[in-house]
Structure 1
Amino acid sequence: MRAITYSRFGAAKDVLKLEDLAVPQAAEGEVLVRIRTSGVNPSDIRARAGGRPGVSEPPFPTIVPHSDGAGVIEAVGKGVTQSRIGERVWIWNGQWQRAFGTAAECIALPSEQAVKLPDHVSFEDGAVLGIPGLTACHSVLGGGTVEGRTVLVSGGAGTVGRLAIQVAVAFGARVLATARGEDGQKAAREAGAEHVFDYSDNDLADQILNATSGSPVDRIVEVEFGKNVETNTKVIAERGTIAAFGSAREMTPVLPFYPLMFKAVTIDLVLVYLLSAAERLAAVENLTTLLEKEALDIRISKVLPLEECASAHDMIAAGDRAGSVILTI
């Protein structure tokens, strides 16, 4: 089978190679999925570049990148019902703590990591559901219902942020968002945010509280925790939650501890790879419900063939895109 591999950290064009590998076999409890699309995420780029904390060399001799993807189950291992053969599925944690991810023609993985994809959902959209979709669902709903509450989504024009807005709106929240520039603010507004603010404004906290008539925010979905912690501290409600899934611009943040403590704020660090079984099931069920209701609009910025995987990595690293980058296989 054709597969993209790397054996050392480095620039995408230097380390990513197109190779011919043996088709894997579905072991007990596994399914073999014929991959149609592979989603490219910022975490895939950090992993390939050697940017994960404490990791100085690749954990496996040969790695096929990417955790997200979609395709069709072609074979099943012992203990998995034969009726799953031919099922359209999307994949989560395809390359998390495993050598071979979705940037290949086939992948074998535990059957629960291949989730049924509704017939009306494209394989391209399916490749966005693993990391972005589950992160959005858990960041919004991981603490329980948001119906009737106010949710602030940071980076509402990004892939996760834009999905988080839609999730929160669908589950009955009043949604505010931040974004960059006119296009970003328009994207967040079109996703359903009631008010959208430029996150670079110096008086951002005042603008948010003015929009809520002074009422603080119940839950914040945060893409840049370190950079935004001061603003979030000002606008978060007592016993509110900051669900943070990123802090790339300030990786060692200093916290205003006592202002947060005297509001009894919960800081929920969201790493979608490590959700508990119950959290994962809830996020998958919520995501499936939204897909079946056609309540999600997933933006795809670029679709490239497998052979152009390095270009896809560079697009993600550059950050100047309006949607997900997908490989077709």
Structure 2
Amino acid sequence: MKAIVFDGIGSPRDVLYLDDIPVPQIGDNEVLVRMVSASINPGDFLFIENLYPEPKKPLFPRQVAGNHGAGIVERVGANVALQPGTLVAFSYYNSWAEYAAVPAEWLIPLPADYPLERAGQMVNPITAWDLLDDSRVQPGQWLAVTAGYSSVSTMVMQFAQRRGINVLSVVRRAHDGLDLRTLGAAAVLDLSNLKAGVRETVLDMTGGTRLSGIVDNVGGPVSGELIRSLALGGQMVINGGMSAERYELHNFDVLLSGLEIRANIYRYFFSPPVEADGPILRKIVDVFGQPDFHVPVGGLHPLASFKLAVASSLDRTDLGKQIFAM
């Protein structure tokens, strides 16, 4: 089968290559999935660069790249209840390939007619749902979301809009091709066009109301200013670090406002879904699959076009999610 693999740690631009490798064998409690789509995510690049903690480490030679995707159940091992022909999504390993062997407990069954470009990126709506929950922002309050054009951020906005939460989308530069207000943003803070400081601009755009929460995918000095724009008891949830810059805080910036800063770890990073997750997963799958839930897709690529797909994912996040379509 065709697969995108790597033999050493490094930039995904440098170490990935397309190869023919054997179709994986399955054992008890495992499923052979014929892949139909797989998303390209920042976390996939962290895996390739060996920046994840144990046990999420590559194994050489010919480690298959990709951690998220969707496919059709081709074969099942002993003790597996899923039937061949079932469409499933997963977050595990080895998704940038024509086939993947996945323990059945990691699989999320989907409706047979689910849009395949959405099925391959279920990691994103699940993450967005959890980020919004973790922010603890209530209807009528304000939530700032950085990296406003990123896939996860646009999903946070749409989930927030459905809950009556006001979203301030923070972007480096506004793009004419996509108005984030159509995706649930109540206001867009364009950092390239500031007429005053970040805190002053936030207060002006929110009608004098301080932020109740922040979902931050960037970091850097702007994040520090957003933290100082939080209301009493506000919360910042860190989901990424696109900026190489740091921000500074004094203890009193946190202490005197009763703030909390916490990290978001994808709920299925270390462990698979459990039975109790079923109702919330079905709700996320349902909302994410609705036609009025906007999911920007930057490109659908065959595995052979991995160089273009990776470069587009790294350089043009404003285009939308890049997807491998098998």
What is the TM-score when the length of structure 2 is the normalising length?
0.86
CA contact (8 A) 2:139 2:163 kept: yes
In structure 2, relative to structure 1, the CA distance for the partners of 1:241 and 1:184 (3 Å cut) is farther
CA offset at residue 59 of structure 1? 4.1
CA offset at residue 300 of structure 1? 0.5
CA offset at residue 91 of structure 1? 1.6
2:88 counterpart letter in structure 1: V
2:134 is aligned, of 142, 149, 156, to 142
Q: Percent identity?
A: 24
1:322 is aligned, of 286, 304, 319, to 319
Alignment of 1:73-92 (within 5 A): 73-82=73-82, 84-92=83-91
CA offset at residue 172 of structure 1? 2.5
CA contact (8 A) 1:2 1:105 kept: yes
Encode CA deviations 1:139-163: one digit per residue, 9 max, x unaligned: 1113557334322211211111111
Counterparts of 2:90 and 2:176, CA distance in 1? 28
Deviates more, 1:168-177 or 1:277-286: 277-286
Counterparts of 2:159 and 2:210, CA distance in 1? 20
Alignment of 1:77-226 (within 5 A): 77-82=77-82, 84-92=83-91, 94-95=92-93, 101-130=94-123, 132-142=124-134, 146-183=138-175, 186-200=178-192, 201=194, 202-226=196-220
2:87 counterpart letter in structure 1: R
Number of aligned positions between the proteins: 320
Name 2:228's counterpart in structure 1: 234
Tell me if 1:309 matches 2:306. yes
Deviates more, 1:275-284 or 1:7-16: 275-284
Deviates more, 1:277-286 or 1:224-233: 277-286
1:290 is aligned, of 262, 287, 290, to 287
- Secondary structure of 2:175's aligned partner: helix
Alignment of 1:65-76 (within 5 A): 65-76=65-76
What is the TM-score when the length of structure 1 is the normalising length?
0.85
Counterparts of 2:72 and 2:137, CA distance in 1? 33
CA offset at residue 198 of structure 1? 0.7
CA contact (8 A) 2:150 2:317 kept: no
> Which 5+ residue runs of structure 2 have no aligned equivalent?
none
2:81 counterpart letter in structure 1: T
Encode CA deviations 1:232-274: one digit per residue, 9 max, x unaligned: 2222121111111112313654333321122121112112125
